[in-house]
């Protein structure tokens, strides 16, 4: 195929990205340099504008030189460039690559405008590598869909800003990109770490793909077609599962999404697994391991009034409370007696709360000027949520409002003159119902 700016223009129109903030991820390799040049040609022929971003990981001795080259290149072509530098500890290569990727996406998310689209130079061979690596890791349908032309941003901050990833060269061969770069006399940097076949992706690129192309010249197109078909099947399956997912989905304590286990139990085993996978993915942007999912299914079948479930998923836990399945972050990072902590606060100001508590920040608005004290885990305190209820112990009140046991010690308690006047995010004492307002984040 002949590659030129119209390929990029058609992609942007098909994906309806004309009104978004378009950003080129510029590493300096031939793929991103080619993508940058296509954008420069696009700008010359249309009204579409763009910027670029370069992340200096500091992992290569030439990293600063590459940064300077990218700055000079963008300056020559009047392209706005943002440079982000990240510091990464050198551990094992696998860990290092993961850290670099996470740091890169976080750095780009921090400097991105809302509704931006980050364009990367991923191409057909990259898709082949991803597919084969996931196949070797035993991925299911979701993993084998590999990379999409448009996908959500792989970092929470980017998702909050509604940033997306775009891969317009995903069906373009590596040779086509090299031909374009050489024909247009482009210059790029070469990362020598890409030649070390001790690492899986490099091994696939250097040893496996040449053999595939030698045997099947259309291997790239075939795998690309397979991933597109898998993506269609996966999307169709999700539409099917969504109906059951929404029937099982409810709102738990503190507006937390939960799955109703009784409703879940009415589904077939396959549907139960699919619903749980969707539940986890929509909160973590990743799927639970098969072993975790299978263990959860066993424990759900054995669940009774005297038992609870707690299974780790990344830095989170799948937990049960009153026949509802929660996915909660591991807020208990280290053993800590929160009952010994007291925080003096003034009305109208945001305060950062201690680690291991349910919220990160808190602000209290109150009608009179009075110093407030924030405490935790005072379960024997008496609290009157409304004038007709009478006073009751805090632990009983938290149980009545459906607060799971694992969160009760982490809920901020607000005091005035040693009187409990509010349970943050839960309720306010009858005496102060109309005179206090609490914000949490």
C-alpha 360/C-alpha 351 separation (Å) is 9
Strand pairing category for 116-119 and 164-166: parallel
30 annotated as belonging to a binding site for a ligand: yes
| C-alpha pair distances (Å), 115 with each of 20, 39, 98, 155, 159 | 6, 19, 25, 14, 9
Query: 29 among the known binding-site residues?
Result: yes
DSSP alpha helix (H) spans, 150-254: 156-160, 174-183, 200-203, 209-215, 219-248
27 labelled binding-site residue: yes
- Can you tell me the distance from the alpha carbon of 338 to that of 263, in angstroms, rounded to the nearest whole number? 36
Q: Where are the alpha helices (DSSP H) in 285-350?
A: 290-301
d(CA 415, CA 364): 11
Rounded to the nearest 5 percent, the helix, strand and coil shares of the chain are 45, 20, 35
Count the residues in the chain: 441
Query: Residue 308 in contact with residue 319, Cβ under 8 Å?
Result: yes
Distance CA(401)–CA(380), nearest Å, equals 16
For residue 166, give the H/E element and its range.
Answer: strand 164-166
Rounded to an integer, what distance in angstroms lies between the CA atom of residue 422 and that of residue 271?
42
Binding-site residue ranges = 27-32
Binding-site residue ranges for ATP = 27-32
């Amino acid at each position: 195929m002949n590659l030129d700016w119209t390929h990029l223009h058609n992609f942007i129109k098909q994906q309806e990205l004309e009104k978004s903030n378009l950003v080129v991820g510029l590493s300096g390799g031939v793929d991103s340099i080619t993508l940058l040049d296509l954008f420069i040609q696009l700008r010359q022929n249309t009204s579409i504008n763009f910027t670029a971003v370069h992340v200096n990981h500091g992992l290569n001795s030439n990293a600063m030189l590459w940064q300077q080259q990218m700055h000079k290149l963008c300056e020559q072509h009047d392209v706005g460039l943002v440079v982000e530098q990240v510091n990464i500890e050198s551990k094992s290569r696998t860990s290092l690559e993961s850290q670099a990727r996470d740091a890169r996406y976080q750095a780009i998310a921090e400097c991105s405008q809302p509704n931006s689209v980050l364009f990367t130079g991923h191409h057909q061979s990259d898709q082949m590598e991803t597919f084969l690596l996931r196949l070797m890791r035993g991925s299911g349908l979701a993993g084998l869909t590999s990379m999409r032309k448009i996908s959500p941003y792989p970092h929470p901050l980017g998702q909050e800003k509604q940033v997306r990833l775009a891969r317009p060269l995903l069906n373009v061969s590596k040779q086509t990109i090299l031909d374009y770069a050489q024909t247009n006399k482009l210059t790029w940097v070469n990362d020598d770490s890409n030649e070390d076949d001790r690492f899986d992706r490099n091994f696939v690129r250097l040893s496996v793909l040449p053999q595939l192309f030698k045997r099947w010249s259309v291997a790239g197109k075939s795998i690309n077609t397979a991933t597109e078909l898998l993506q269609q099947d996966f999307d169709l399956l999700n539409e099917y599962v969504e109906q059951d997912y929404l029937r099982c989905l409810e709102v738990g304590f503190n507006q937390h999404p939960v799955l109703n286990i009784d409703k879940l139990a009415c589904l077939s085993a396959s549907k139960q697994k699919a619903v749980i996978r969707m539940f986890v993915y929509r909160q973590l942007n990743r799927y639970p391991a098969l072993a975790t999912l299978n263990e959860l299914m066993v424990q759900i079948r054995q669940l009774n009034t005297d038992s609870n479930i707690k299974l780790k998923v990344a830095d989170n836990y799948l937990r049960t409370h009153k026949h509802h399945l929660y996915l909660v972050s591991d807020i208990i990072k280290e053993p800590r007696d929160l009952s010994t902590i007291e925080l003096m606060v003034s009305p109208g100001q945001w305060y950062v709360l201690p680690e291991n508590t349910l919220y990160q920040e808190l602000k209290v608005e109150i009608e009179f000027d009075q110093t407030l004290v924030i405490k935790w885990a005072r379960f024997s305190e008496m609290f009157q949520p409304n004038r007709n209820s009478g006073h009751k112990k805090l632990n009983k009140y938290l149980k009545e409002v459906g607060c799971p046991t694992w969160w009760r010690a982490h809920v901020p308690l607000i005091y005035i003159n040693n009187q409990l006047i509010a349970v943050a995010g839960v309720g306010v004492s009858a005496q102060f119902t109309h005179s206090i307002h609490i914000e949490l984040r």
